[in-house]
Chains A and B, each alone.
Chain A
Amino acid sequence: MMTPLYKYGFFGEEFSLLVAFALGLGFGFFLERAGFGSARKLAAQFYLYDMSVFKVMFTAIVTALLGVTYLGWLGWLDLDLVYLVPTHLGPQIVGGLVLGVGFVIGGYCPGTSVAALATGRIDAVVYALGIFAGTFAYAELYPAIKGFVNADAMGQVTLPEVSGLPWGLIVFAVVVIAVVGFWGATLVERRFRSEP
């Protein structure tokens, strides 16, 4: 059997919306389980006394990365059919910086704010209203900034492609960096937990 199922025509667009809801259910469930419905827990990442954001995120990345790597190797998943967001380094670097600042000030990112507002966090409701306002402002400003947003078009490109290194080597490096990172993060947590 070849996957992705949707790309191979196993089901149509209407059914894909049901799949979207089901995947969202799982996504939201684990976000809340991890404690990411709490802005204090999320913000703690930036004050070093609770590195759960890093640990959860990198465990998820490593899990899914190993999954696609093995499934691709077995010939069960056609990775070329999995959508990659095109790379535009300039706007993505600036966007990342702005988003990081917004994370510390607001306490959430868009996905976690949905998990938080669903569990009754009023600050997450206000945060989501902020996203609405920011999205509207962005849309209004888009004609003026679209030159920058669409600059540096590199297309769909991966780290192995841009570095010329084998896919497997980079996957292995990511796993090693993650494991060393988890060990380091736990040491850092111990050091900063006692601080008021």
Chain B
Amino acid sequence: MNQRPPSPYLNPYLAGVGLGLVLLAAFVIMGRGLGASGAFSSTVSWLVNLVAPAHAQANEYMGEYLGDGSTHPLKAWLVFEVVGVAAGALLSGLLAGRARLAVEKGPRVSTAVRLACAFAGGMLMAFGAHLARGCTSGQALTGGALLNLGSWAFMLMVFVGGYAVAWFFRWQWR
């Protein structure tokens, strides 16, 4: 989409301060932190409700995201926040010349295998995030900054789990 070479990434500490200030603003303005996985729960509940409403409403997990039907399932705080995340990332990517159609992978793996891994990883991630009541945003980042006990336990285990299997998936990235 952009012809000029992509700009280098922002210094990690500056990016961290930026993210931290956005998170602090969320605490001060809303009294809650940021998140992501909850938006996926709302979207899935809405989609299943379109296809099989009786089934979705009878399900304990999806039923909670659908509520009593008085408001649209997508009219949820995290859904609006995640739409903002997409818009903000696109803005940054366009400004930096980094927005382009591509598959992120190492040189030794085929596109088909990489995409299969992406799908499997997404499934696992969803399971982990729902078990833990939040993902890297809603638990690790938000709860980390509030000294939440469960968030710190979760964050530590994310790194343990990642490092434990990293060697086995080395071929995908390097």
CB atoms of A130 and B132 under 8 A apart: no
Give A contacts to B, CB under 8 Å. 3-7, 16-35, 37-41, 43-47, 52, 55-65, 67-68, 71, 77, 79, 81-89, 91-124, 126-140, 142-143, 145-146, 149, 154, 156-162, 167, 170-171, 174, 182, 196
A111 to B85, alpha carbons, bound, how many Å?
8
The contact size tier of chain B is 35 or more
CB atoms of A99 and B138 under 8 A apart: no
Q: Which residues of A contact B28 (CB under 8 A)?
A: 3-5, 67, 71, 77
A23 and B12 in contact (CB under 8 A), knowing A71-B28, A108-B121, A135-B40? no
Q: Which residues of A contact B20 (CB under 8 A)?
A: 59-64, 67
CB atoms of A59 and B117 under 8 A apart: no
Report the nearest A residue to B115, measured CB to CB: A126
CB atoms of A23 and B158 under 8 A apart: no
The majority secondary structure among interface residues of chain A is: helix
Select one of A92, A94, A145 contacting B139, CB under 8 A: A92
Q: Map CB proximity to A onto B1-26 as digits: 1 under 8 Å, 0 otherwise.
A: 10000000110110111111111111
Q: Which 5 A-B pairs have the closest CB atoms?
A: A106-B121, A24-B84, A130-B122, A59-B16, A100-B161
A6 to chain B, nearest CB (A): 5
